[in-house]
Amino acid sequence: MNFLNEPFLKVKDYSVSGEEFGLLIDENLQLLKTYPQPELSELSKYYESEAYISHTDSKRSLFEITYHFIKQKALRNKIKLVERWNGGKGTLLDIGTGTGDFLAEAKRNHWKSVGIEPNENARTKAKLKGICLVESLTELEDNYFDVVTMWHVLEHVPDLENQIKELKRVVKPNGVIFIAVPNFKSYDANYYGKYWAAYDVPRHLWHFSKTAMEKLFAKQNLKLKKVLPLWFDSFYVSLLSEKYKSGKMNLFKAFWIGLQSNLKGRKNLEYSSHIYIFKNS
């Protein structure tokens, strides 16, 4: 990777620390890197917030209630998508399991599944749902899983290239890998700029484009087969971005920007977030 020294953009951590970080760009990969990246020993403190919704099951507000309602439909859709590409059920690894809802849905659908989740609080909640968890990828056998999933997790991983090597190692030949990440080339990213909530520095260490995803995974002979939009993400991200920009959640403005992002995405195929589907070859 070859990142320019001058920041592509300067972004603030709006949800926890209030600190400012730079985003450096690798122009060949069209990949952004958060700089400076916190030391591994320091990363956990940036997740210490009740507002970090992927680590909580709480439904204290209309926003959280709506989030979890839509999340349930999204979980069912993800299982259908995985089964369609796998040609049925099988062995599944979910990295960044959070509170375990995706694997709980997989278990209900008779998948043999395992999860990895570094956050202790989220891990405890996942275990209460009967989820099987391991500490790290190093515990897992080579070429064991039919499917590996990372739903909005790759952007959090410190050692990006080694992570992709490990995905290659644990998935079966002809196995399928599903990766969901935000897209900094989207309309809502361009509209909100430094206020775009999906930058989420420094928890998001990397910021991807379609070019970056295809090139990074091609290095491990993982072939990109399909890119799909995550329609809801533009509305969710726009709502948070409005809060960061104006200090309040402007529901109607956020809905309009989210809608615009999806409509423009239908033309230029640059949505707020994408699901990338890779085949091991």
Domain count, the chain: 1
**pLDDT tens string 232-259:** 999 999 999 999 999 988 899 999 999 9
Of 101, 176, 113, nearest to 140 by C-alpha is 113
Q: Is residue 267 part of a domain?
A: no
Backbone φ and ψ for 277, nearest 5 degrees, come out as -115, 120
175 lies in some domain: yes
pLDDT of residue 32: 98
Is residue 9 situated within a structural domain?
no
Domain that holds residue 100: 30-36+58-182+199-230
Question: Which pLDDT value is given to residue 195?
Answer: 98
Q: What is the pLDDT of residue 53?
A: 45
Supply the CATH number for residue 112's domain: 3.40.50.150
Residue 225 domain flag: yes
Is 142 contained in some domain?
A: yes
Q: Which residues contact 41 (CB under 8 A, 6 or more apart)?
A: none
- 75 belongs to a structural domain: yes
- The pTM (predicted TM-score) of the whole model is 0.91
Low-confidence residues of the chain: pLDDT under 70: 50-71
Burial of 197 (0-12, 13-18, 19+ CB in 10 A): buried
Query: 114-120 long-range CB contacts below 8 Å, 24 or more apart?
Result: 114/140, 114/145, 119/44, 119/47, 119/55
pLDDT in tens, 120-140: 888 999 999 999 999 999 999
The pLDDT, as a whole number, for residue 50 is: 61
Strands 222-229 and 273-280: antiparallel
CA distances from 147 to 82, 113, 174, 187 (A): 8, 9, 10, 31
Tell me if 141 is assigned to some domain.
yes
Which pLDDT belongs to residue 55? 46
Backbone φ, ψ for residue 123 (5° rounding)? -60, -40
CA distance 122 to 100: 8
Does some domain include residue 248?
no
